[in-house]
Amino acid sequence: MESSEETSKNGKEGLKSHNRRRWRKDKGKASRILQSMDLRTMTQSLVTLAEDNMAFFSSQGPGETARRLSNVFAGVREQALGLEPALGSLLSVAHLFDLDPETPANGYRSLVHTARCCLAHLLHKSRYVASNRRSIFFRTSHNLAELEAYLAALTQLRALAYYAQRLLATNQPGGLFFEGDEGLTADFLREYVTLHKGCFYGRCLGFQFTPSIRPFLQTISIGLVSFGEHYKRNESGLGVTASSLFTSGRFAIDPELRGAEFERITQNLDVHFWKAFWNITEIEVLSSLANMASATVRVSRLISLPPEAFEMPLTSDPKLTVTISPPLAHTGPGPVLIRLISYDLREGQDSEELNSMVKSEGPRILELRPRPQQTSRSRSLVVHFHGGGFVAQTSKSHEPYLKSWAQELGAPIISIDYSLAPEAPFPRALEECFFAYCWAVKHCALLGSTGERICLAGDSAGGNLCFTVALRAAAYGVRVPDGIMAAYPATMLQSAASPSRLLSLMDPLLPLSVLSKCVSAYAGAEAEEHPNSDEKALGMMGLVRRDTSLLLRDLRLGASSWLNSFLEFSGQKSQKTSAPTVESMRRSVSEAALAQPEGPVGTDSLKILTLKDLNLKSSSETSETPEMSLSVETLGPSTPSDVNFFLRPEDAREEAEAKEGLSAKDSSSGVSNAFPVGFHPRRTSQGATQMPLYSSPIVKNPFMSPLLAPDNMLKTLPPVHIVACALDPMLDDSVMFARRLRALGQPVTLRVVEDLPHGFLSLASLCRETRQAAELCVERIRLILTPPAAAAATAPPPL
């Protein structure tokens, strides 16, 4: 009996192993098709196979299954023939939007590549059907479901291709982001979010990514829909445990059901749900498992920086100082938490001064090991800002790969646990990150570094904070970091359509509605709930939290006066006109600096220089323009002289010729008429989306959307190294930001990794491809931390 059970068990395990091998083999064949065929050849081959299969199943009698198979191949033929010209037109001009010939990457290329992936999967499946349709082992129902799912995906991709053509026709020359009428932008986004998305979250989940990623995405999708069920039953999700995430077996065995539920969740649940779900990685069990697989470090301590002002020397004249005030926005003064990670215990890291600021984390920081011997201070320091859409995660979520960085770089790392939206919207996170950065520069000896080389590093929202902290350091006149490494950063938080953001229709990690909810939370503009929304199911705690946020919103709006003058240089105002004194309930760090009394610049009695005085001095010495205003009022749509998104003249002419190929109807009709006659994409069945369309001037602030910063601000940035993902909805943020810096003569590099999703740093240990991408980030940081003389000495000789 036991032998029989063991044989049965081994047989089941063998079948599972066989299925996994066959799946990888199928994925490999699809990848080879993608690499070996151009678009036209692939389309023609698919159409020929579709016609052959359609004819075969049409001759099999009046059965329902045969009819559906015949119809699905007819649909494949129709969509492939309609899609090929649209993709060809996009591909013909895609090179005009690249950073340079060595970096062929932008949203148009990514959209074409994704569509070709779908065509390759359908071509492989069609070949399989043609070869095995007469076999008695042919699984008719399974293959029909696969074909119907990919046909739905192909139909939606055709809709995206038409949307991309609309962007190409309406955007300014060389621009990847739509910068026209806000009403048209709102119409575009409302039309876009009505498209059906569930097909991308079921059987087709992650088809565009490397095969090694897809099992992980399937696990995440099952966990997400299971979490959604438990979240509703447990009010705010606080009762959800790691073991309850994967208990809904019906979602695991039914891809269509899982896709529909995934779509419902992404469209209807609020930012508090996503905050709770993304913070799952910080559950003690999961974080412990992640740390077990990461490098072992001597130091990983949470430090609480006291909210006390201190002085920083000016780079222009170290004898003069500027006051760095503690964060004040929204919640008043409060400590800032940072995590110090160091592979070795270095001098200063166990000092009494630093030990007095250590914040206990419980038993996880206790070490039963001999006291390690100290090593000398490192010449380098890495300041890290974590991602999480400004609403979720902490340094604890990113600790596994940061430990590896500390080992590979041989430098201490501090990761900032900034306050999160919607409870602490902009500019609280920026204030805390800037305060922590300045503190680290001033007290680098306590952190085990001499501070000779300092690098800012961050991913996603953290990449945004890297740029804005560096811009703020330059505005204050304090030391700017020696370089920035930003992984898949968000540089444009305005609700602007771009070709890469069209990919959010199918991206399981960054759906468009979730992106918009995160941005709105960070901007302090939570949308009011629809009375019939599914969010009512969140329970009493969710309603109390929501009512409280609505009550506090008026207070935030009442503080908009200081946001309007956020980091505004006083030189903008006439020296003959005295500015009225505005008393606010709370003031930001910027206002605290600006509010200090003005005195004669350069006198011996002056020991502290305010930002106001710095602007008067620098503007008179370096520019004929009297000031650079950073207020919300003056940061509306930038003029071409301030924000240069334009192509070179020869590229502009080439793009203009390409646009002439579009019909007159394409260039003049509204968004709703973007599709040709007879084409109807699939619409969502989940009801009206709750995606907020927020267009406050705050999102145009360069300290929120650095892509919109004027040229004279961007010129103050240090060397920038960006690592982006080709299939990331945020790809165009990286491409356009790099193009702007390149046009200004600023040192910038852009490396684009293929076939990986947004957030690959958190997946660094998952597969070979993510490890290689993470190593690329480390390589960029090492380049920043290497002194210029040493870098020149180790550089290869010119050819």
Give pLDDT, residue 731: 97
Give pLDDT, residue 336: 97
Query: Is 342's pLDDT higher than 50?
Result: yes
Handedness of CA 623, 625, 626, 631 (dihedral sign): negative
pLDDT, one tens digit per residue, over 770-795 is 999 999 999 999 999 998 766 555 55
Going from the C-alpha of 3 to that of each of 6, 10, 122, the distances in angstroms are 5, 10, 43
- Element containing residue 89 per DSSP (H, E): helix 64-93
Give pLDDT, residue 30: 64
- Considering only CA atoms, give the Rg of the chain: 28
Going from the C-alpha of 798 to that of each of 790, 792, 795, the distances in angstroms are 16, 11, 9
Among the listed residues 465, 484, 421, 467, the one whose alpha carbon sits nearest the alpha carbon of residue 275:
421
Give pLDDT, residue 691: 54
Q: Of the spans 283-297, 584-598, 611-625, which averages the highest pLDDT? A: 283-297
Going from the C-alpha of 295 to that of each of 149, 298, 414, 461, the distances in angstroms are 41, 10, 16, 25
Q: Of the spans 48-52, 256-260, 294-298, 549-553, which averages the highest pLDDT? A: 48-52
Distance CA 629, CA 279 (A): 38
Give pLDDT, residue 668: 44
Distance CA 757, CA 511 (A): 12
Number of other residues whose CB lies within 10 A of the CB of residue 204: 23
758 as an active site residue: the answer is yes
Give pLDDT, residue 526: 61
- Relative to beta strand 449-459, strand 358-359 is unpaired
Please tell me what DSSP assigns to residue 502.
G
Kindly report the average pLDDT of the chain as a whole number.
Answer: 78
User: Are the CB atoms for 441 and 451 separated by under 8 Å?
Assistant: yes
Name the more confident of 498 and 613.
Answer: 498
Please tell me what DSSP assigns to residue 375.
B
Distance CA 280, CA 416 (A): 19
Q: Which is the catalytic residue, given 728, 732, 733, 755? A: 728
Q: At CA 126, angle to CA 124 and CA 127, rounded to 5?
A: 65
- Relative to beta strand 321-324, strand 310-313 is antiparallel
Give pLDDT, residue 228: 80
Average pLDDT over residues 243-266: 77
Give pLDDT, residue 201: 93
Exposure b/e, 328-340, CB count within 10 A at least 16 = b = bbbeeebbbbbbb
Among the listed residues 708, 710, 687, 686, the one whose alpha carbon sits nearest the alpha carbon of residue 697:
708
User: Are the CB atoms for 155 and 74 separated by under 8 Å?
Assistant: no
- Relative to beta strand 720-725, strand 748-753 is parallel
Number of other residues whose CB lies within 10 A of the CB of residue 320: 18
Residue 215 buriedness (CB in 10 A; 0-12 / 13-18 / 19+):
middle
Average pLDDT over residues 718-735: 97
Q: Which is the catalytic residue, given 110, 404, 460, 520? A: 460
Q: Which is the catalytic residue, given 121, 196, 272, 758? A: 758
Query: Is 768's pLDDT higher than 70?
Result: yes
Distance CA 341, CA 727 (A): 31
User: Are the CB atoms for 501 and 512 separated by under 8 Å?
Assistant: yes
Q: Which residues pair with 103 in a beta bridge?
A: 100
Alpha helices, DSSP H only, in 321-460?
352-355, 395-409, 428-442
Distance CA 419, CA 328 (A): 12
User: Are the CB atoms for 111 and 161 separated by under 8 Å?
Assistant: yes
Which tokens is 375 given?
Answer: 């090593």
Give the 3-state secondary structure of residue 751.
strand
Distance CA 466, CA 460 (A): 10
Which residue type occupies 437?
A: Y
Distance CA 480, CA 458 (A): 16
Query: Is 295's pLDDT higher than 90?
Result: no
Which residue type occupies 634?
A: T
584 as an active site residue: the answer is no
Number of other residues whose CB lies within 10 A of the CB of residue 193: 21
Range from 367-376, 530-539, 706-715, 717-726 carrying the lowest mean pLDDT: 530-539
Average pLDDT over residues 221-239: 70
Residue 71 buriedness (CB in 10 A; 0-12 / 13-18 / 19+):
middle
DSSP characters over 575-600: TTSPPPP---SS--HHHHHHTSPP--
The angle, 0 to 180 degrees and rounded to 10, between the axes of the packed helices 271-278 and 512-522 is 100
Give the 3-state secondary structure of residue 26.
helix
Number of other residues whose CB lies within 10 A of the CB of residue 382: 27
Average pLDDT over residues 334-350: 95
Give the 3-state secondary structure of residue 725.
strand
Average pLDDT over residues 527-548: 40
User: Are the CB atoms for 750 and 725 separated by under 8 Å?
Assistant: no
Instruction: Collect all residues with Cβ–Cβ distance below 8 Å to 19 and sequence separation of at least 6.
Output: none
728 as an active site residue: the answer is yes
Instruction: Please give the model's pTM, rounded to 2 decimal places.
Output: 0.80
Range from 183-192, 201-210, 409-418 carrying the lowest mean pLDDT: 183-192
